[in-house]
Amino acid sequence: MRQTAGHEKGSELTTPPNISAADEQIEVPGLSGLTRDWLSAIGEDPDREGLQRTPHRVAKAWGFLTAGYGQTLEDAAGSAVFAAEGSEMVIVKDIEFYSMCEHHMLPFYGRAHVAYIPGDKILGLSKFARIVDLYSRRLQVQERITTQVADAIEELLEPKGVAVLMEGIHLCMAMRGVQKQNSSTTTSAMRGLFRNDPRTRAEFMSAVQGTLRNR
Ligand SMILES: Nc1nc2c(ncn2[C@@H]2O[C@H](COP(=O)(O)OP(=O)(O)OP(=O)(O)O)[C@@H](O)[C@H]2O)c(=O)[nH]1
Ligand SMILES: [Zn+2]
C-alpha cells in the first residue's frame, strides 16, 4: 500500500496526519506521466494548451481521492477515545462520503449514518466522519466501506453495538453501463445489540429514515 511518506510531503511530515486540504497538493508519484499517456490513448493531444497542466492536476486530485491508503485508524481517530459518559445510543448521521469504485475507477458518493451504544468508551464525534473518510478515500466497493467503518468502531470502542448504514449513488451505473439515473444502493452493518435486539435496530432505522434518498 502507498504510504503518505511516498507523497513527497517533505517538511509537511510534521503536520498532523489528518486528511486536510494540504493533501490535495500532494501528487501521486508517477501518475502525471501515466495521465499523459492516458490522454494520448483517448485521442487527445496532451500538449494542447488546456491539457498541459492536466496530468499534474490529476496526480494531485488522486493524491486526495486515495489519501486513505496513507492513514491508519490510529491516525484518524485514536486521539479521541474517552471514558464513557453514558450508555445511550449515539447516532451521527448524514456524513457525506465520496469514493471511487474499484471496478471502473468512477465516483460513488452519498451519506453514511453511524450509531453505537457505548461500553466503557466513547469517541469524539468528528472522528466518525474521519473514519468514514479514511475508508472512502481509496478504491472501494460500498459494502467494504460499510464493514470497515463498523469494524473500526468495534476495534476502537468495544461498544455494546454498532450500526452503519450507507446510501450511495454510483456513477458507473448512471453515466455509463446500465445508465440508471435514479437508483441508489443501501448497505448496512449491524453488530451487537443492533443485530440482536429488534427495538434497538428499529430506533436507529427510524432516526435515519427521513434522510434517505429524496433528491
Ligand atoms: N457490489 C458492488 N458492486 C459494485 C460497486 N460499484 C460498482 N459495482 C458493480 O461492479 C460490477 C462489475 O461488473 P462487470 O460485469 O465485471 O463490469 P461491466 O461489464 O463494466 O458491468 P456493467 O456496469 O453492468 O456494464 C457492476 O455490476 C457494477 O455495478 C459496489 O460498490 N458494490
Ligand atoms: Zn463501478
Instruction: Please give the average per-residue pLDDT across 208-215, as a whole number.
Output: 67
85: pLDDT confidence band, cut at 50, 70 and 90?
confident
CA dist 205 and 167 (Å) reads 13
CA dist 115 and 109 (Å) reads 20
Closest CA to 81 of 157, 159, 160: 157
Ligand 1 and 178: CB distance under 6 A: yes
Tell whether 141 and 84 lie within a shared domain. yes
Question: pTM for the complete prediction?
Answer: 0.89
Instruction: Please give the average per-residue pLDDT across 99-104, as a whole number.
Output: 98
Number of domains in the chain: 2
8: pLDDT confidence band, cut at 50, 70 and 90?
very low
Please list all protein residues whose beta carbon sits less than 5 angstroms from ligand 2, which is an ion.
101, 103-104, 172
Tell whether 61 and 158 lie within a shared domain. no
Ligand 1 and 180: CB distance under 6 A: no
Q: Quote the pLDDT of residue 14.
A: 39
Residue 30 lies in a domain: yes
Pick the last residue of a domain from 49, 70, 91.
Answer: 70
Confidence check: pLDDT of 7 > 50 = no
Assign residue 155 the CATH number of its domain.
3.30.1130.10
Residue 144 lies in a domain: yes
Contacts 24+ apart (CB under 8 A), 125-131: 125/90, 125/92, 126/80, 127/76, 127/77, 127/80, 128/92, 128/95, 128/153, 129/92, 129/95, 130/18, 130/19, 130/76, 130/77, 131/73, 131/76, 131/77
Q: Are 170 and 185 in contact (CB under 8 A)?
A: yes
Task: Print the domain residue range for 113.
Answer: 76-209
Tell whether 133 and 189 lie within a shared domain. yes
Q: Is the ipTM of this complex over 0.85?
A: yes
- Kindly give, in sequence order, each residue whose CB lies less than 8 Å from that of residue 136, ignoring residues fewer than 6 positions away: 68, 97, 98, 99, 145
Q: Are 98 and 50 in contact (CB under 8 A)?
A: no
Instruction: Please give the average per-residue pLDDT across 195-211, as a whole number.
Output: 93
Closest CA to 204 of 169, 159, 137: 159
Q: Is 158 a catalytic residue?
A: no
Q: Quote the pLDDT of residue 12.
A: 39
Q: Which residue has the cell 481517530?
A: 77
Q: Are 119 and 154 in contact (CB under 8 A)?
A: no
Q: Is 142 a catalytic residue?
A: yes
21: pLDDT confidence band, cut at 50, 70 and 90?
low
Q: Quote the pLDDT of residue 16.
A: 44
Tell whether 56 and 83 lie within a shared domain. no
